[in-house]
C-alpha cells in the first residue's frame, strides 16, 4: 500500500493528536511503524520531542532502603497514589511506568488531600521523623519530596499490624478500595 492522500491525512491527524508510530501503523494497516516514522520525517512533521524528560529518582528506593523494620510494607503510599492516578487517567497508558512515576511525586499530595476530606477526619499532627528514627510502631507514611531536605515520615503511632498510623492506614485502604470498585 502506498501513501494516498487520505492515508497521509490520517497520518497527519493521528500523529498530531499524539498517537505513537506503532498505533498509527495499526490504524492505517499495511504499513510498519518504521514506515510511519519514515513518512513523518519526510512530511517534516514531528515536533513531539519532549526534551528527553528526566524522570529523576523516586521515593521507592528511599523507603526500601530503610531498616529491617520497613522491609515489607503491605502497600506503600506510592503504590496507592499510582493506582489512583491510573484510574483517574485512562489516557496515558503505554508510556506507563516512567511517566506515572514522575506524576506520583507530583500528585501524591494532591490526591491524598481530597481523600482526607472525604474521610471526614482531620489530618493528624506528624512527628516529622527521619528515616533512621522509624520503629516497629511508628507510621511510615512518607511526607514531602524524598529529595527535599524537609522530607520526613509521619511517625505517628501505628498499630502492630500496619506500617501506618490509623489515619494513613485508612487513607491507603480507602484508596485501594475505590480502585477495585472503579475497575
Instruction: Summarize as ranges the residues that interact with DNA (CB under 7 A).
Output: 1-3, 20-23, 31-35, 37-42, 46, 48-49, 52, 54-55, 94, 98
- Output DSSP code: residue 143: E
Q: Looking at beta carbons only, is 21 or 129 nearer to DNA?
A: 21
Q: Looking at beta carbons only, is 44 or 68 nearer to DNA?
A: 44
Shortest Å distance, C-beta 41 to DNA: 5
Shortest Å distance, C-beta 4 to DNA: 9
Q: How far apart are CA 161 and CA 164, in angstroms?
A: 9
Q: Looking at beta carbons only, is 29 or 149 nearer to DNA?
A: 29
Shortest Å distance, C-beta 80 to DNA: 22
Q: How far apart are CA 139 and CA 150, in angstroms?
A: 17
Return the bridge partners of 129, or none: 153
Q: How far apart are CA 72 and CA 64, in angstroms?
A: 8
Which residue's entry shows cell 492505517?
Answer: 28
Amino acid at each position: 500500500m502506498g501513501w494516498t492522500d487520505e492515508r497521509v491525512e490520517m497520518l497527519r491527524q493521528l500523529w498530531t493528536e499524539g498517537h505513537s508510530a506503532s498505533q498509527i501503523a495499526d490504524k492505517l494497516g499495511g504499513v510498519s511503524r518504521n514506515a510511519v516514522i519514515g513518512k513523518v520525517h519526510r512530511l517534516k512533521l514531528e515536533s513531539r520531542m519532549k526534551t528527553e524528560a528526566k524522570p529523576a529518582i523516586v521515593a521507592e528506593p528511599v523507603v526500601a532502603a530503610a531498616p529491617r523494620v520497613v522491609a515489607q510494607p503491605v502497600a506503600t503510599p506510592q503504590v496507592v497514589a499510582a493506582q489512583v492516578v491510573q484510574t483517574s487517567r485512562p489516557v496515558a497508558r503505554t508510556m506507563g511506568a516512567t511517566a506515572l512515576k514522575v506524576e506520583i511525586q507530583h500528585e501524591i499530595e494532591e490526591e491524598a488531600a481530597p481523600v482526607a476530606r472525604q474521610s471526614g477526619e482531620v489530618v493528624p499532627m506528624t512527628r516529622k521523623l527521619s528515616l533512621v528514627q522509624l520503629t516497629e510502631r511508628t507510621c511510615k507514611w512518607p511526607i514531602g519530596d524524598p529529595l527535599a531536605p524537609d522530607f520526613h515520615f509521619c511517625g505517628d503511632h501505628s498499630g502492630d499490624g500496619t506500617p501506618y498510623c490509623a489515619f494513613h492506614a485508612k487513607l491507603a485502604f480507602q484508596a485501594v478500595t475505590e480502585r477495585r470498585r472503579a475497575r
